[in-house]
Amino acid sequence: MLRAFLKRFGLWPTVALLTLASVLVSVLVTLMFNGGSVDSTGVRIAILVPCIVAPLFSSQQLRLIQQLERAHEELHRLSITDELTQTYNRRHFMQIAAQHLAQARQGKGLSILIFDLDDFKTVNDRYGHLIGDAVLAEVCRRCALSLRPEDVFARYGGEEFVVLLPATGYHEALEVAERLRRVVVERPVEAEGFSIPVTISLGLATQRSPHQGLDELLNRADDALYQAKQQGKNQVLG
């Protein structure tokens, strides 16, 4: 309860609450040990002592709680995030996708996109891996800004990425895929003084029945991506 109050209202309101509680407890204890009556000096002492001691003690403890909470949140973020692209990592994506698939079996449906950067090996070979990393990060930044809040975006491996589109049919998913393709190709990536044209190819798979599993959807999207590569790249198939 204290942690929830601290998280919602902040440090000093929580310190004030604890101080007030300490004063009430101090007054009650003083009354108990004095048979229910106490002079004005005793009351002042009962109020003054916790007002001095409680803020000093509680503020230190609450700061420690805040630091531990922030450290825990950061560790959790690192455990589910790809460091370079700031997308989800593959493990976390699979966990979220399984949850969405269970909901999709209730009739909501979903679609999956898999895409990768066309000829990315050439970028690495020509400009080096540091610039290649910058290209990956910029492409992901553009794509993330073009997705909806409910979409799940993750690095699937290397230069390959996956997007889960909850409650999304084929035509709407196709629009999302085309939007991603356009936002990447519309202008080159600027990195270390180089202007690097980039395109992506995308494979799309939409759930056809509630019984289709995640592996089947991913395989279909991956097959569609392969066909997009074979048929000229910089396109969406599915």
Percentage of the chain beyond pLDDT 90 is 59
Which pLDDT band holds residue 41 (cuts at 50, 70, 90)? very low
Higher pLDDT pick, 31 / 94: 94
Which pLDDT band holds residue 84 (cuts at 50, 70, 90)? very high
> What residues contact 17, with CB distance under 8 A and at least 6 apart?
5
pLDDT at 65: 54
Higher pLDDT pick, 14 / 106: 106
pLDDT at 72: 64
As annotated, the active-site residues are: 159
- Alpha-carbon dihedral sign for residues 92, 96, 97, 102: positive
The helix or strand, by DSSP H or E, that contains position 234, with its residue range, turns out to be none
As a whole number of angstroms, the distance between CA 155 and CA 88 comes to 6
Q: Which of 156, 33, 32 is nearest to 87 (CA)?
A: 156
Asked whether the beta carbons of 184 and 136 are under 8 A apart, the reply is no
The ranges assigned to domains in the chain are 2-79, 90-237
* CB neighbourhood size of 222 (10 A): 17
pLDDT at 88 over 60: yes
Higher pLDDT pick, 32 / 156: 156
pLDDT at 75: 72
First to last CA, the chain: 50
Higher pLDDT pick, 14 / 148: 148
Which pLDDT band holds residue 85 (cuts at 50, 70, 90)? very high
Which pLDDT band holds residue 92 (cuts at 50, 70, 90)? very high
| Class of domain 90-237 (CATH, top level) | alpha beta
pLDDT digits (tens, 9 = 90+) for 166-202: 999 999 999 999 999 999 999 999 999 999 999 999 9
As a whole number of angstroms, the distance between CA 171 and CA 86 comes to 28
pLDDT at 15 over 70: no
pLDDT at 124: 95
Higher pLDDT pick, 195 / 32: 195
> What residues contact 160, with CB distance under 8 A and at least 6 apart?
114, 115, 116
Percentage of the chain beyond pLDDT 70 is 66
Helices marked H in the chain: 2-9, 11-33, 40-80, 90-103, 120-127, 129-146, 170-185, 214-230
pLDDT digits (tens, 9 = 90+) for 122-178: 999 999 999 999 999 999 999 999 999 999 999 999 999 999 999 999 999 999 999
As a whole number of angstroms, the distance between CA 175 and CA 141 comes to 19
pLDDT at 100: 86
pLDDT at 211: 78
Residues in the chain, overall count: 238
pLDDT at 94: 94
